[in-house]
Amino acid sequence: MNKPIDRLGYYLVGFKKFYHKTLALIESKKTGYVLIWVFNDDAYSSIDWSVPIQENLDELYRRRAQQLRDSYDYLALYFSGGADSSNMLRAFLTNNIFIDEIVMQIPEPARKSCNGIDTSNVNHFSEIDYSAVPILNELKNQIHPNTSIRYQDTSKGLIELFDKDNWFEHHPFGVTLALNPLARQHTSFTDKHILKLCDTGKRIAQIIGTDKPLLMYDGKDYYSYFIDVTALHAPPVDLAKREIWEKSYHTEFFYWTPDMPEIAVKQAQEVKLHCELNHNIRNIVCNTNIPIGELRSILHPIIYPSMPEVPFQVAKSSHEAVRKKDRWFWETASESQKFNYQLAINYLNDNINSEHFKSGDIGLGMNCHLSRLYKL
């Protein structure tokens, strides 16, 4: 039987199901079974992706926002100031659909180095102050007075997590070995505001923007697919916390959802149309060696037709385990906390086949896994 968390994607190794890629890869090495990533196959296979969807994207975004409002008692929209979350925010505000809170995540120690000049990924967290905040100021007259806007510090819980030698047993990495996704994941289980909300018995949704459509071209046909490294949210291993997550606090991907698969299909169809009209676009968009972040200037006007360009945006993250944007951790954590992080990395290096690491090097991060291909 599928659980709500299955909608965020899961891994099959033999007959065993895993929500954390690292645990699935350990099982794969131990048993010899191949790892398969499953992402809402039933929902996306039930649609013929080659049949044009008549509704325009802005209408689909409006319907998705209303669908979420109708499904939950409390909506927490996670806003980074990037294009994906900005378009998501505007889908609610433009259509007067109430959001209970807008949440901006940032590790507080990173704030001291934030600036509006450096657009390299080392300056990643500056998007909050130099993109998210200006956008909220611009839209302040559309934001309901009862909507709360808050910052969520992702550093404290992460630092404390590494006080425990056995931290990985209770809070394993999801789809990446990097610190920021782990911090965001762990904060969902330790934020007092969230836990207090869960005690009210309300059904709560944390709404995440996810990512853009991905296309392949084989010289004749176009295909779309999903990629696991974007589905960053994994449930806790602790059964008591998982029960809270499954019953009260749900992660909702705004775009990649089985509740409205037409969004991903329509986005892919629009991108395919532009590829057919301009083969230079096709050569770039359908090149699987080009990181999705480098396609933003092409994709944003196509899939977010009514959204103005965001004020400030930095380069996308690479897939390394240790990323430049996480330097705040290395400047803040104690030697024992750093050691405990590295201890888990060493353990994974010994217990995962090296073919799953980029160029066989765990320091470069894990290779991605793709969903099924859908013919457009």
Q: What are the pLDDT digits (tens) for 324-351?
A: 899 999 999 999 999 999 999 999 999 9
- Average of per-residue pLDDT values in the chain: 92
Question: Residue 50 corresponds to which tokens in the numbers above?
Answer: 């080659």
Cβ proximity of 298 and 272 under 8 Å: no
Centre a 10 Å sphere on the Cβ of residue 271 and count the other Cβ atoms it contains: 26
- Residues 318, 263, 215: CA angle, nearest 5 degrees: 50
pLDDT at 315: 84
Q: Give the CA distances from residue 35 to residues 130, 174, 332, 352, 368, in Å, rounded to whole numbers and listed in that order.
A: 40, 14, 36, 12, 11
In sequence order, which residues have a C-beta less than 8 Å from that of residue 285 and are 6 or more positions away?
Answer: 215, 271, 274, 275, 295, 298, 299
Give the chain's largest Cα–Cα span: 57
Residue position matching structure tokens 């645990």: 23
- pLDDT for 278: 94
Q: Is the overall model pTM greater than 0.75, yes or no?
A: yes
| Backbone dihedral angles phi then psi of residue 105, each to the nearest 5 degrees | -95, 135
Q: Is the pLDDT of residue 220 over 90?
A: yes
Cβ neighbours around 376 below 10 Å, total = 22
Exposure string over 15-53, b if 16+ CB within 10 A, otherwise e: eeebbbbbbbbbbbbeeeeebebbbbeeebeeeebeeeb
Give me the pLDDT at residue 370, please: 94
What percent of the chain stands above pLDDT 90? 73
Write the DSSP assignment of 122-138 as a string of letters: GGTTHHIIIIIHHHHHH
Across residues 180-196, what is the average pLDDT? 86
pLDDT surpasses 90 at 1? no
Confidence of residue 236 (pLDDT cuts 50, 70, 90): low
Residue whose entry in the numeric block shows the structure tokens 């350990």: 26
The confidence score (pLDDT) of residue 342 equals 95
Q: Is 106 within 8 Å of 125 (Cβ atoms)? A: yes
Does 293 have pLDDT greater than 80? no
Give bridge partners of residue 13 from the DSSP assignment.
Answer: 16, 35
Q: Flag the least confident range among 129-138, 197-206, 343-352.
A: 197-206
Q: Residues 294-323: what's their mean pLDDT?
A: 87
Q: What is the pLDDT of residue 238?
A: 67
Cα(351)–Cα(22) distance, rounded to whole angstroms?
Answer: 10
Distance CA 299, CA 253 (A): 19
Distance CA 18, CA 74 (A): 28
CA distance 251 to 287: 30
The answer to whether 73 and 204 have CB atoms below 8 angstroms apart is yes
Q: Each residue of 77-105: pLDDT tens digit?
A: 999 999 999 999 999 999 999 999 999 99
